[in-house]
């Protein structure tokens, strides 16, 4: 089916059970029955950026931490024991050489374990840094565009953050050879349904391999939390809109990986589960050392712990045990 702008807008406004059932059917047909588990390791909450919505922005007064190499490796071992196909090392954006080296060293250690695929989510970096981490063994990278509308992007970021730079970073990642994931926040102040339709068209045009998107959730003390805006809707509504975004994207790009994010779970425990039955095929349980999780708060009510119902939905996948993006394999490797 050809998804035009008008069609997407109408589905975003009115899509219901029929849309969800069709997305679930297409998900099973194209990327398989079982969902993929990706262990999330929150490596550091230090960040040099100051995004107006984020709880670990530079100006936030939170206790900062960085995991030791051994703490990361212990989490990876746990992921291996649990049978997870990949691990994500996520952290704030830091460009200092010591940080670049630390990640390089850790990625190299994980690759040497013959363990899960290494996914990075560490913000905008130079093409040279992306290359170093790729050469060390990282194969996937998540960098959300947050909003594909440059005007909205400018309103939710300080003046020294650049939309064009973000786009360039996504292109650098693609050129380096990563499986590239992006995504947006849903229900931001000043964001319209039309803008979200453009976000979906942007993802298709960029031909992304993976997507992670979730509702925007106010985080107390951040500049954006003080904007209660009428276009934003309740958190429940933002969650429902997120489910429609997931379902429509599954139909537009049947063979990509789509995550059902923790932010959905923060609205209600069932929301993330619903994401997995309306198009999403990846869940990212948090496997960071538990004593530090309380400090990695991007938004309020961030859930902790692995939902046992999600573990049950993950069936061993003999064909694609590490949960690679089928879209990537088709494009880059000419297989399947």
* Distance in angstroms (rounded) separating the CA atoms of residues 202 and 198: 6
Least Å distance, CB 102 to ligand 5AD, is 19
Q: What is the DSSP string of 65-118?
A: -B--HHHHHHHHHHHHHHT-SEEEEEE-----HHHHHHHHHHHHHHHHTT-SEE
Question: For residue 172, what are the CA distances in angstroms to 127, 212, 213, 270, 311?
Answer: 6, 19, 21, 37, 34
Q: Does 241 bind ligand 5AD (CB under 6 A)?
A: no
Our finding on whether 217 is near ligand 5AD (CB under 6 A) is: yes
Site string for ligand SF4, 18-47 (x = CB under 6 A): -----------------------------x
| Interaction pattern, residues 195-214, with ligand 5AD; x per rule: CB under 6 A | -------------------x
Residue nearest to ligand 5AD (CB): 299
> Is residue 124 involved in binding ligand 5AD (CB under 6 A)?
no
Among all chains, which residue has been given the structure tokens 């590490």?
Answer: 322
Phi, psi of 324 (to 5 degrees): -65, 155
Q: Minimal distance in Å, beta carbon 335 to ligand 5AD? A: 30
Is 282 among the residues that bind ligand SF4 (CB under 6 A)? no
Establish if 263 lies at the interface with ligand SF4 (CB under 6 A).
Answer: no
Q: How far is the CB of 121 from ligand SF4 (least distance, A)?
A: 9
In the complex, least distance from residue 209 CB atom to ligand SF4, rounded to whole angstroms: 20
Spatial separation of the C-alpha atoms in residues 259 and 272, rounded to whole Å:
9
Among 23, 51, 217, 284, binds ligand SF4 (CB under 6 A): 51
Among all chains, which residue has been given the structure tokens 């922005």? 57
Please identify, using beta-carbon distances, which residue of 218 and 255 lies nearer to ligand SF4.
218
Sign of CA dihedral 242, 214, 147, 257: negative
Draw the binding track, 110-149, toward ligand SF4 (x: CB under 6 A; -: no contact).
Answer: -------------x--------------------------
Pull the structure tokens for residue 293.
């999780």
Q: Is 183 in the site for ligand SF4 (CB under 6 A)?
A: no
Quote the strand ranges of 156-195, DSSP E: 179-182, 185-186
Whole-angstrom CA distances from 281 to 41, 119, 159 are: 19, 16, 36
Give how many residues touch ligand SF4 by CB under 6 A. 9
Q: How far apart are CA 205 and CA 298, in angstroms?
A: 29
Which parts of this chain interact with ligand SF4 (CB under 6 A)?
47, 49, 51, 54, 56-57, 92-93, 123
Which parts of this chain interact with ligand 5AD (CB under 6 A)?
53-54, 144, 146, 185, 214, 216-217, 219, 263, 298-299
């Amino acid at each position: 089916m050809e998804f035009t702008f008008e069609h997407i807008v109408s589905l975003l406004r009115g899509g219901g059970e029929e849309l969800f059932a069709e997305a679930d059917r297409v998900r099973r047909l194209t990327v398989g029955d079982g969902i993929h588990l990706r262990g999330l390791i929150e490596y550091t909450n230090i960040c040099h950026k100051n995004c107006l919505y984020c709880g670990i922005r530079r100006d936030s007064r939170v206790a900062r931490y960085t995991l030791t190499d051994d703490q990361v490796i212990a989490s990876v071992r746990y992921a291996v024991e649990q049978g997870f196909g990949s691990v994500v090392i996520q952290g704030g954006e830091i460009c200092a050489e010591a940080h670049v080296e630390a990640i390089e060293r850790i990625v190299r250690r994980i690759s040497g374990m013959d363990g899960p695929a290494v996914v990075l989510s560490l913000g905008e970096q130079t093409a040279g840094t992306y290359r170093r981490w790729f050469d060390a063994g990282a194969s996937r990278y998540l960098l959300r565009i947050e909003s594909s509308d440059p005007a909205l992007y400018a309103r939710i970021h300080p003046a020294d953050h650049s939309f064009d730079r973000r786009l360039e970073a996504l292109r650098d990642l693609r050129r380096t050879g990563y499986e590239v994931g992006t995504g947006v926040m849903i229900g931001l102040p000043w964001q319209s349904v039309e803008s979200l339709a453009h976000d979906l068209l942007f993802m298709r045009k960029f031909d992304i391999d993976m997507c992670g998107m979730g509702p925007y959730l106010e985080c107390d003390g951040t500049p954006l939390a003080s904007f209660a805006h009428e276009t934003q809707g309740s958190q429940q509504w933002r969650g429902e809109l997120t489910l429609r975004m997931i379902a429509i994207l599954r139909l537009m790009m049947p063979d990509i990986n789509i995550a059902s994010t923790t932010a959905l779970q923060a609205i209600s425990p069932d929301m993330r589960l619903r994401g997995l039955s309306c198009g999403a095929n990846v869940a990212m349980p948090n496997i960071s050392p538990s004593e530090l999780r309380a400090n990695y708060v991007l938004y309020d009510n961030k859930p902790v712990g692995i939902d046992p119902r999600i573990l049950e939905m993950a069936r061993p996948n003999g064909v694609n045990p590490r949960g690679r993006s089928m879209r990537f394999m088709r494009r880059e490797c000419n297989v399947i």
